[in-house]
Amino acid sequence: QDAVRKRFGVAASQLRIYLHYQPSYYHLHVHFTALAYDAPGCSVERAHLLADVIDNLALDPMYYQKQALSFTLRADEALLKRFQEAGRV
């Protein structure tokens, strides 16, 4: 947060820090965006707040092995087609 503040002038209180997970994205990565910016992919269906992830893991290190995570797919995504072919949607 300090690095973002120094480089971009955005205070920690004005940051949205979230991560993406599979299958909506194909590798785990973290975003730091200003709250004023409505970033694509920052919605609850495709992202998790980093603070929530840290809290969940602090409560239970196995949290994400036990918890089902919902996600959305666009109608034109190949992964959706594969789910449909498998009778999962």
pLDDT of residue 27: 76
CATH number of 1-86: 3.30.428.10
Per-residue pLDDT tens digits for 48-83: 899 999 999 999 999 999 998 777 788 898 888 988
Question: What are 77's two structure tokens?
Answer: 């995504």
Mean pLDDT of 17-39: 81
pLDDT of residue 24: 58
Q: Is 29 a catalytic residue?
A: yes
Catalytic residue among 20, 27, 29, 48: 29
Residue 20 β-bridge partners? 29
Determine the Cα–Cα distance for residues 86 and 79; give it in Å rounded to an integer: 11
Question: What are 53's two structure tokens?
Answer: 């992830």
Is the pLDDT at 47 greater than 70? The verdict is: yes
Q: Where are the domains of the chain?
A: 1-86
Averaged confidence pLDDT in the chain: 86
